[in-house]
Structure formats: structure tokens, C-alpha cells
Structure 1
Amino acid sequence: MRIGEAAQASGVSAKMIRHYEAIGLLPAAARSESNYRDYTEAEIHTLRFIRRARDLGFALHEIASLLALWGDRQRASAEVKRLALAHVEALEAKARDLSAMAATLRHLAAHCHGDARPDCPILDELAGPGEAPGAGRNSL
């Protein structure tokens, strides 16, 4: 099947399919006589695997490792589990960081009058300590 059909069947855009081929995550597809990419069901299955891994937030280098393990019938499931749990730890750390950012912004917003006055603790916090409004800007 051609790239548009492969994209539709796998849920991966044609642009990303080309990218995955370019970086070696997906082997280059065979070409038809008219030089169109021709994808097999096995390649569609691999693209679905990549899409599901991306949906779970795995980085491309992690997906490459998972694909190698998936294709290795002699693999140890302990390695797959190790990769998955390391990813869980990274996701949980990111969730904590996002929660802390949200709490900071919520606190700053609670202390902002939100009216016509120019005073704004949100902007003051972003500017940093001792930074005067407009400091560092070139005035014309």
C-alpha cells in the first residue's frame, strides 16, 4: 500500500512515516516501479507499535530499543520491564514538575488584582528580583 494508505491504516502521518524512515526507526519501504513507497502489513504493524509507544510518551531512542526487543525472540522480558519502569519514573517526575508549576502560577494569579491597575505579581515574578520594568530594553 502507498504512504497515504499506510498513514491512514496506522494512524501515523505520512510526514512522520518519512521521518521515521529517515532516522532509521522504520526500514525504508520497498519502491514500486513508479517509485512510490510500498508498505506491507508488517510495516503497518510496526508503525502502529511506534504510534502506541509515542502515545505513551516514549522518546524515539526508547522506541528504537523497544522495537529491537520486540523483534528479538530471545529477549529477556526483564529488559522491557526495566525500560517501561524507567519511563514511568520520568513521567511521574514530569507530573510533579508540572504540578509545582501549576501551584506557583495559581498562587501568583491569586495575588494579582486582575483589574486596571498595572501592578502584577505574575510579571514581577517572571522579571526576577531587582529587575525594574523595561530594564534591559533599548528605548528609542
Structure 2
Amino acid sequence: MVEEDEMAGFTIGKVAKASGVGVETIRFYQRSGLIDEPTPIKTSFREYPDATVDRIRFIKRAQNLGFTLAEVQELLGLSEQPGASRREVKAMAEAKLGLIQQKIADLKQMEATLSQLVHDCSGRGRVPGCPIIEAIVGETNTCNHNGT
């Protein structure tokens, strides 16, 4: 958490530095409704409240866990809703976990297939007959031209 005295007069550049993101990221978050755009106080500079840095850090951590910005918006909404249930947050996390586990399974299958193809290719000679190319051509030929 950022100390209040450190936040006094925090401009967009200082918020960016404190939260570890770029100024354009902050502007994007503002346009997306993830963070509020402060109104100018006394000068033309906009001063951000200390909660802005914490909110940006939350957004980045959630993104690092695989949540989309729309999902982050929903998580933020739940975290700010006094009557919200942990069940809703858990359901979102479980759904994200399922997607990540499926991606991992898909990547493992891709790894196994590509590993076998690399093993089958001697790396010598001309490209025609290369098992890697043949496997890729075979993959594209298994689909008909109707997109199915």
C-alpha cells in the first residue's frame, strides 16, 4: 500500500511509476472504466487518490492470472459490492482455472506432436518428404473446403 504522504499530488506519471505501468495503460484503464479519471484540482494537473495505485496493481495481478479486462471489471465490481458473495468470485476463478487447464492440456498435446515430428526429421536433405512439412500438409488436407 502506498503511504498517503507519498500520494499527495500524485500525477499520472507518478501513479504510473508507483504501479509499474505506463501512462498510456492508465489512460486506457480510464477509457475502459476500470479507474476513474480525476478532476483537476487548483492547477491543470490531475491528482489521483492513493487508492488508484492499489486498483491498478489489482488489475495487473488479475490479468497475470489470466483474467480478461471484462472479467477484471466484474471482479472489481464484486469487490466493491457490500452484499456480493464469495461464491461469485470463486465461480469466476474456477471457470478461469478450467480454461487454463484446458490450454495446458492443448499445449502438452502440441508439445508431444511437435516433439515426435522433430525426432522423425533428420534435418538433412531437401524439404520434399520432410516429416514436419508432410504432417502440416496432412493436417490442412484433413479439412474440407467448406471450413469444416
Q: TM-score, normalised to structure 2's length?
A: 0.79
Aligned length: 131
Amino acid at match of 2:48: Y
Matched, 1:11 2:20: yes
Counterpart of 2:104? 95
Helix, strand or coil for the counterpart of 1:113? coil
Q: What's the offset of the Cα at 1:34?
A: 4.9
Runs of 5+ unmatched residues, structure 2? 1-9, 142-148
Q: Bigger relative contact order, structure 1 or 2, given CA contacts below 8 A and separation 6+? A: 2
Query: Which residue, 121, 130, 134 being the options, matches 2:131?
Result: 121
Amino acid at match of 1:124: E
Amino acid at match of 2:61: R
Q: TM-score, normalised to structure 1's length?
A: 0.83
1: CA distance, partners of 2:17 / 2:83: 32
2: CA distance, partners of 1:109 / 1:34: 63
Distance 1:72 1:105, change over 3 A: same
Deviation string 1:74-129 (CA, Å, 9 cap, x unpaired) is 21111111111111111111111111111111111111111243232212222336
Matched, 1:41 2:57: no
Amino acid at match of 1:102: E
2: CA distance, partners of 1:109 / 1:23: 44
